[in-house]
Chains A and B, each alone.
Chain A
């Protein structure tokens, strides 16, 4: 974002490559070539999938990995567009916010995998006979696992823009468009970057489910790591599962180094603090990009264009103002708006009621609620177990800052680890020792989500004020009194944040985790997740809708009854500062 004062080196050595250019330019070119290649493959006719069926040959994996990466990237771009529009609308318009914010809450709680069966049908219809339809469905599924928390993060940032900066932009007469790019977006970036990284981990979990799509009679396997894994599981091929894990690890590493690290390092300057802080995130790739003259030269037109665009007063045509005489009073408009929303909700509820209960009875609803209760018990017990294990471990790690830093990428990988990849181990052990699937399949639910508890406990311990630690030491507090009075209250707000994320994710994961298969062996646990998974496989839409509705109800109820009071308590009483 330099404006004047070009560095001397740029002017003097314009045509000579620096050593940075020699590394960066080939890297970037290769990336563009690969992206183009992958994108072209996405628009083939559907029959092309049958001509070149999936293979478990490890040599095909890089190609699959590329396709998967592209899908995730596309979903990410969609998520960002969604974030900027939805978040802005929800924050700027009181009336829109009254609808959009609770809707976001529900969308965050709805089992994402449940969406799949509806969207696949829709997108296949949109591009008949072309792979693009299936691709869109997969991308949309990944999008739904990423977008909501990003949108909510942006909304919250917009609502907490510092008052003095807000007044400054208004006093200097900036238009809404100028404010958006100068104040609101920059202010929201640190939160947004963090949430995007979380979303990416969450996205991996669902890549596996979204690439190998089977809804009722339709079965499509898009080339990608996800369908590779599905095929490996179906064919009982342990080595292939190993290769898939390796490929995932590599892709996550590349994403981390080439995308997220640079973004985190770049986002440093948007951190809202007026004093320079000691720790600053670094990225070798960003440093290279910044020092490469060729990159600077090649991107200069885009940066100039962007700057010119955000300097514009308005890019959208101005809506004609409503003449004062005709405009209704605010209260009247409110009545009309909320009334219309209410009617729409009643109409929708009635429609769902008709659709579901045309085939199903009240007995099915009770059945669904019962299964929901079973899954609820699993979630609660598993979160409790994960807490008992990871809180002490997290505190131990958090007190060793160097270890904590080294473990960060590892933990990120573990959070992205899809439960499906552990199916072989669980199924083999359960069958061998005749264990009950109802109990022993459950750990799969927290496999990916327990790490959020660990992350947050580590973060909380690292942030724990040093003077309080020293005070506790000087009073010679040890053992249980130390945990009870010093450390547990200190990390509680962080723990709660982690536990909320873990609990929400576990509900979602139950759809994958309560039904496990390895080759021809299929194991099923009793629970709402299995109910939804089976309804999806059978193309049984009424049961699917019922299952999704019941699960959403459970998640929202759990949030309201348990998590919200605990979160409020933590924020009110236990935040240091």
Chain B
């Protein structure tokens, strides 16, 4: 109390979130998350989609309730949205039928502030965030950057102590995002905003290092916090500073290191094991493209992930799933922030179209248990056909309905490329492709 610099603002402990009907194996989205936020900090939650970072943010903001665990804000338990916290959304979440002024005013509607006060606060928030002159514009008349400024103004007008930001810059183009980040940091450093602390969800490693004082790294399956990085650099930070670069490298390395979850041995980086593995929808063109890039100069079969991501203009969380899918199929190895082509991967690059498909089919059936299972079932049927929904039901025993559907679609897309099996959409039937010799 006497030292406001270190006053605890937010205290989260033991937060878990699981989905799933009772009786089935629950899907753990977030496991045992704990964090403390004190005055004057910007803390980043960094991880890939599906690692539970957005879930944690929603739990903290009171939008969803944790399955177990507790969130305390200024000492009081959070049981729903509370005054004192405000959220900036990834999609801006502006109301198209309200003007800029009315959108910002919406932040105060619930607080029952007297009218003249409302007008004053809205006006000053608009001016602070650089929107003066746009009060009567509708969101559809604004560019993306200006829209997100409205999102910031709407959050700041409530005089929040804690600002929650859910990937606020990820829907903007690179230049606009950078301008907005810098403007925000300027206001923060100069202390012109009423906020005491910021919690930033992001999948962009450089953004996290640029803005945050502490970064919590999330891992998937189940979503959990695995490590904390401190960024002891003063603002404004220089992206080319060696310390900055080394922190970025260290985070990349951490994010590609396999860690066994508390449940023990894992089959890879995807959730679940064997048939129950949740697979990402990943185009075979992207996979082939990455393999070819890796094989060619200057990488010649081995690349450091941060420069590779920069060269391909991909975010870490876009590049990593491609690498991991290829790793599952044993075409590459991921370790210590590097991606290395395997012998099979090199053969794939050197092969012609038909040989590639054959090799891919072989790896698909060998290393993806679900593909092998479907193929076995189809081979066993006299008419070589089986219902899509049949396999979905099998998968639903292991994962959520949506995940079961997308996992099946992922396998189907790979199998179509490999000409292993296909699916007739109208009938919802898997079947062997016409060209496969049927020995029924």
- A positions within 8 Å CB-CB of B: 1-5, 164-165, 167-175, 178, 182-183, 186, 269-276, 311, 313, 573
Given A3, A172, A183, A274, which contacts B139 in the complex, CB threshold below 8 Å? A274
User: What residues of chain B lie closer than 8 Å to A182, measured between beta carbons?
Assistant: 95, 98, 106, 109
Specify which chain A residues have a CB less than 8 angstroms from the CB of B138 in the assembled complex. Answer: 269
- A-B pairs, top 5 by smallest CB distance, nearest first, are A173-B110, A168-B93, A164-B93, A164-B91, A171-B87
Q: How distant is B111 from chain A, measured CB to nearest CB, in Å?
A: 8
Residues of chain A lying within 8 A (CB to CB) of residue B85: 171
Q: Are A175 and B110 in contact (CB under 8 A)?
A: yes
B87 and A168 within 8 A (CB): yes
Give bound CA distance, A183 to B86, whole Å: 19
Residue of B nearest to A1 (CB): B102
* A172-B86 contact, Cβ under 8 Å, with A276-B140, A276-B141: yes
Say whether B249 faces chain A, with CB atoms less than 8 Å apart.
no
Cβ contacts under 8 Å, A175 to chain B:
110
B107 adjacent to A172 (CB under 8 Å): yes
Chain A residues lying within 8 Å of B110, measured Cβ to Cβ, are 172-175, 178, 313
Cross-chain contact A165 with B158 (CB below 8 angstroms)? no
With the chains together, A271 CA to B139 CA distance in Å?
A: 12
**Which residues of chain A have C-beta atoms less than 8 A from B58's C-beta?**
167
Given the complex of chains A and B, what is the CA–CA distance between A270 and B140 in angstroms? 11
Q: CB < 8 Å: which of A171, A178, A273, A573 contacts B96?
A: A273
Residue pairs across A and B with Cβ atoms less than 8 A apart, 28 shown, are A1-B99, A2-B136, A3-B102, A3-B119, A164-B92, A165-B93, A167-B58, A167-B87, A167-B93, A168-B89, A168-B106, A171-B61, A171-B85, A173-B81, A173-B83, A173-B111, A174-B106, A182-B95, A182-B98, A182-B106, A183-B95, A269-B96, A271-B96, A274-B96, A274-B139, A276-B141, A311-B109, A573-B426
Report chain A residues within 8 Å CB of B111: 173
Kindly identify which residue among A171, A174, A273 contacts B109, using a CB–CB cutoff of 8 Å.
A174
Least CB distance from B110 to A in Å reads 4
Alpha-carbon gap, A170 to B81, bound state (A): 7
Residues of B within 8 Å of A165, CB to CB, are 93, 95
On B, residues with C-beta under 8 Å from A are 58, 61-63, 81-83, 85-87, 89-93, 95-99, 101-102, 105-107, 109-112, 119, 135-136, 138-141, 147, 154, 158, 425-426
* Residues B140 and A5 in contact, CB atoms below 8 Å apart: no
Indicate if the CB atoms of B109 and A172 lie closer than 8 Å: yes
Distance A165 CA – B425 CA, assembled complex (angstroms): 34
Asked if residues B63 and A170 are in contact (CB atoms below 8 Å), the reply is yes
Compute how far the CA of A171 lies from the CA of B80 in the bound complex, rounded to whole angstroms. 9
- Give chain A residues whose Cβ lies under 8 Å from the Cβ of B140: 273-276
Give every chain B residue within 8 A of A170 (Cβ-Cβ): 63, 81
A3 partner residues in chain B, CB cutoff 8 A? 99, 101-102, 105, 119
Supply 11 further A-B pairs (C-beta < 8 A) apart from A4-B101, A172-B106, A274-B140.
A164-B92, A168-B93, A171-B61, A171-B85, A172-B110, A178-B110, A183-B95, A269-B138, A272-B96, A275-B140, A276-B140
Enumerate chain B residues within 8 angstroms of A171, measured Cβ to Cβ: 61-63, 81, 85-87
Docked CA distance A186–B98 (Å)? 10
Closest CB of chain B to A103's CB: distance in Å?
28
List the A residue with the shortest CB-CB distance to B110.
A173
For the complex formed, measure the closest distance between the CB of B162 and the CB atoms of chain A, giving whole angstroms.
12
Chain A residues, Cβ within 8 Å of B96? 269-274
A172 touches B101 (CB 8 A): no
Q: Tell whether, in the assembled complex, residue A573 and residue B93 are in contact, meaning their CB atoms are under 8 Å apart.
A: no
Residue from the set A165, A173, A186 with the largest chain B CB neighbour count within 10 Å: A173
**Chain B residues with CB below 8 A from A168, complex form:** 87, 89, 93, 106
- C-alpha spacing A170/B138, complex, angstroms: 22
Contact assessment for A4 and B135 in the assembled complex, using a CB-CB cutoff below 8 Å: yes
Cβ-defined contact, B87 with A5, below 8 A: no
Question: Are A269 and B93 in contact, with the CB atoms below 8 A?
Answer: no
B112 in complex: contacting residue of A271, A272, A313, A573, CB < 8 Å: A313
**Complex Cα–Cα for A253 and B57 (A):** 54
Q: Please give me the residue from chain B that is nearest to A5 by CB atom.
A: B136
Kindly name the residue among A3, A174, A175, A269 whose own CB sees the greatest number of chain B CB atoms within 10 A. Answer: A3
Q: How far is the CB of A563 from chain B (nearest CB, A)?
A: 18
The CA-CA distance from A435 to B83 in the complex, in Å, is 77
Given contacts A4-B119, A167-B63, contact A178 B93 (CB under 8 A): no
In the assembled complex, the CB of A271 is this many whole angstroms from the nearest CB of chain B, namely: 7
Given A164-B93, A165-B95, A186-B97, does the pair A573, B106 have CB atoms closer than 8 Å? no
- Residues in chain A near residue B107, CB distance under 8 A: 172
In the complex, which residue of chain A has the Cβ closest to the Cβ of B111?
A173
Closest Cβ–Cβ distance, residue B414 to chain A (whole Å) = 23
Please measure, in the bound complex, the distance between the C-alpha atom of A3 and the C-alpha atom of B99, giving whole angstroms: 10
Residues of B near A276 (CB, < 8 A) are 140-141
**Chain B residues near A169 (CB, 8 Å)?**
106
In the complex the two chains form, is A167's CB within 8 Å of B141's CB? Answer: no
Taking a contact as CB atoms under 8 Å apart, the answer to whether B81 and A172 are in contact is yes
CA distance A275 to B90 in the complex (A): 17
CB-CB under 8 A from B83, the residues of chain A are: 173
The residues of B that contact A4 with a CB separation of less than 8 Å are: 101, 119, 135
Q: How far is the CA of A178 from the CA of B92 in the complex (A)?
A: 20
Q: Name, among A171, A175, A269, A311, the residue most crowded by chain B CB atoms within 10 Å (CB to CB).
A: A171
- CA of A174 to CA of B103 in the docked complex: distance in angstroms? 13
Contacts of B102 in A (CB 8 A): 1, 3
State the Cβ distance, A324 to closest chain B Cβ, in Å: 13
**A175–B138 Cα gap in the complex (Å)?**
24
B62 contacts across to A, CB distance below 8 A = 171
Q: Which residues of A contact B92 (CB under 8 A)?
A: 164
What is the distance, in angstroms, from B199's C-beta to the closest C-beta of chain A? 13
Q: How long is the Cα–Cα vector from A183 to B135 in the complex, in angstroms?
A: 20
In the complex, chain B residues whose CB is within 8 Å of the CB of A1: 98-99, 102
B82 cross-chain contacts in A, Cβ below 8 A: 173
How far does the alpha carbon of A284 sit from the alpha carbon of B91 in the complex, in Å? Answer: 36
CA of A174 to CA of B101 in the docked complex: distance in angstroms?
Answer: 17
Instruction: For the complex, give the distance between the alpha carbons of A163 and B196 in Å.
Output: 28
Chain A residues with Cβ below 8 Å from B63 are 167, 170-171
Kindly state the separation between the CA atoms of A311 and B106 in the bound complex, as whole angstroms.
Answer: 10
Question: For B105, what are the chain A residues with a Cβ–Cβ distance below 8 Å?
Answer: 3
Shortest CB distance B6–A (Å): 27
**Contact partner, B158, options A5, A164, A172, A313, Cβ 8 Å:** A172
Please name all residues of chain B whose beta carbon is closer than 8 Å to the beta carbon of A173 when the two chains form the complex. 81-83, 110-111
Residue of A nearest to B138 (CB): A269
Give the one of B61, B89, B90 with max A CB within 10 A.
B89
What chain B residues lie within 8 Å of A167 (beta carbons)? 58, 63, 87, 89, 93
Chain B hits for A272, CB < 8 A = 96
Q: Name the distance in Å between B412's Cβ and chain A's nearest Cβ.
A: 16
Q: Which of B98, B141, B147 has the most CB of A within 10 A?
A: B98
Residues of A within 8 A of B98 (CB): 1, 182
CA distance A276 to B139 in the complex (A): 9
Across the interface, which residues of B come within 8 angstroms of A273, CB to CB?
A: 96, 140
Shortest beta-carbon distance from B159 to chain A in Å: 13
Q: How far is the CB of B429 from the nearest CB of chain A, in Å?
A: 15
Q: How far is A573 from B111 in the complex, measured between Cα atoms in Å?
A: 47
Contacts of A275 in B (CB 8 A): 140
User: In whole Å, how far is B77's beta carbon from the nearest beta carbon of chain A?
Assistant: 16
Contact at B97–A270, with CB atoms within 8 Å?
yes
A3 to B85, CA, bound (A): 26
CB-CB nearest in chain A for B90? A164
In the bound complex, residues from chain A placing their C-beta under 8 Å from that of B154 are 172
CA distance A274 to B82 in the complex (A): 29
- Please name the residue on chain A nearest to B101 by beta carbon: A3
Interfacial chain B residues near A172, Cβ < 8 Å: 81, 86, 106-107, 109-110, 154, 158
A442 vs B112: C-alpha distance when bound (angstroms): 62
A275-B143 Cα distance, complex, nearest whole Å: 9
A544 to B135, CA, bound (A): 61
Report the separation of the CA atoms of residues A436 and B281 in the bound assembly, to the nearest whole angstrom.
Answer: 63
- The residue in chain A whose Cβ has the minimal distance to the Cβ of B426 is A573
Find the B residue at minimum CB distance from A569: B426
Does the CB pair B89–A164 fall under 8 Å? yes
Query: How far is the CB of A569 from the nearest CB of chain B, in Å?
Result: 8
